[in-house]
Amino acid sequence: MALGSFPLRAALLLSLALLPGTVAAQGKVAERPAPPVAWTGAPFVPLWTGTPPGGGFRRVAVPADSPATFLRNIEQPGLRLFRPAHANGASVLVIPGGAYDFLSIGNEGVDISQRLNALGYTVYVLVYRLPGEGWANRSDVPLQDAQRGLRMVRAAAMKDGLDPHRVAVLGFSAGGHLAATLETDFAQTVYPARDATDRIDARPDATALIYPVIAAKPPFTHALSAERLLGKNPSAAAVVRRSPADHVTATTPPTFLLHAMDDGAVVPDNSMAMMAALRRAGRPVEAHFLAEGGHGFGVGSPSLPAGHWVETFDHWLQREFAKTAPPAG
């Protein structure tokens, strides 16, 4: 019987109605499931004191079937901190994806943080504002939070005895677009400075882009990501402004790219375009294109090559950091 057939759908709905926290026959309001304890238990540091730049937040409706690991209505952006048992001195700012429509904080937040913690990295997951939730200057909103977040991670590294020159950013999907925007437009003025933190360099020391959205226009862009970031009918100038492959320069940090060739949501041409731009600019780039994996695989299944990229990224990052380390003694 097809999944969309009425009898099976009715049975599924009835089963759901009998579960705790769902809408029951008495007409009680359903309780939306809470995010995982590993997420809510991680310390949260707000990015901004008072109203974030621009203001204008407006709550949006959340689909009834939206998982607890899909965050929306982000009025207060910030950083979730995941500390390792034994720090290696390096920090990673993780940027989850979600088409700029939500943040996928399970596979692209908690899971990757735990894997990186096991390797010694201090991890901050960026809880950034979603541009379609009423904010002014929608195409600048994610970059405002990413710049501020990177600066705060670097400030924390100095305070906590970590290396402020070993700060990487790692982004997935639309979060990969934001990471690519940060690594190319870290110096773009998108909000007025508020305090001493905003005088800290926002340039990452290295960047990892995992099945990233790079193109902001057809044929290779992810349509929902582009619409949420730029609106329905953006100008040509607005599209170019948020096309990171067009902004690669001699100051763009070393970049690690990972994409599955069978990704039907964000086609691998996105990573190929970024790789070509980095090569044209003479910037260090390492790219891995997998035969299978699809989209949104996060840390990946251990039964597939996509399940082993975190260790490959770690080896690459340690090599890149070693190139810029000051001489011993």
Using one digit for the tens of pLDDT, what is the confidence trace for 39-75? 999 999 999 999 999 899 999 999 999 999 999 999 9
Distance CA 162, CA 147 (A): 19
Is the pLDDT at 142 greater than 90? The verdict is yes
pLDDT (average), residues 291-311: 94
What ranges do the domains of the chain cover?
64-323
* Cα-Cα-Cα-Cα dihedral sign, residues 211, 260, 167, 283: negative
pLDDT at position 225 = 95
How confident is residue 324, by pLDDT bands cut at 50, 70 and 90? Answer: confident
* CA nearest neighbour of 177 among 239, 260, 110: 239
Is the pLDDT at 2 greater than 70? The verdict is no
Q: What are phi and psi of 131, to 5 degrees?
A: -65, -20
pLDDT at position 3 = 37
pLDDT (average), residues 13-38: 52
Q: Coil, helix or strand for 58?
A: coil
pLDDT (average), residues 148-154: 98
pLDDT at position 325 = 75
With 0-12 CB in 10 A as exposed, 13-18 as middle and 19+ as buried, what is 209? buried
What torsion do the CA atoms of 301, 302, 307, 309 make, to the nearest 10 degrees? 170
- Measured from the Cβ of residue 270, the count of other Cβ atoms closer than 10 Å reads 26
pLDDT at position 184 = 98
Distance CA 35, CA 22 (A): 16
* Cα-Cα-Cα-Cα dihedral sign, residues 12, 17, 20, 21: positive
CA 218 to each of CA 213, 223, 226: distance values in angstroms, whole numbers, following the listed order: 12, 8, 10
CA 310 to each of CA 42, 244, 268, 299: distance values in angstroms, whole numbers, following the listed order: 21, 24, 19, 7
Residue range 174-221, pLDDT digits in tens: 999 999 999 999 999 999 999 999 999 999 999 999 999 999 989 999
Q: Which CATH number fits domain 64-323: 3.40.50.2300, 3.40.50.1820, 3.50.50.60, 3.30.565.10?
A: 3.40.50.1820
pLDDT at position 35 = 85
Is the pLDDT at 29 greater than 50? The verdict is no
Residue 296, token pair as written in the block:
């949104």
Q: Which amino acid is at 12?
A: L
Is the pLDDT at 20 greater than 90? The verdict is no
pLDDT (average), residues 250-276: 98
How confident is residue 32, by pLDDT bands cut at 50, 70 and 90? Answer: low
Instruction: Please report, rounded to a whole number, the percentage of residues in the chain having pLDDT higher than 90.
Output: 85
Instruction: Report strand pairing: 78-82 vs 44-46.
Output: antiparallel
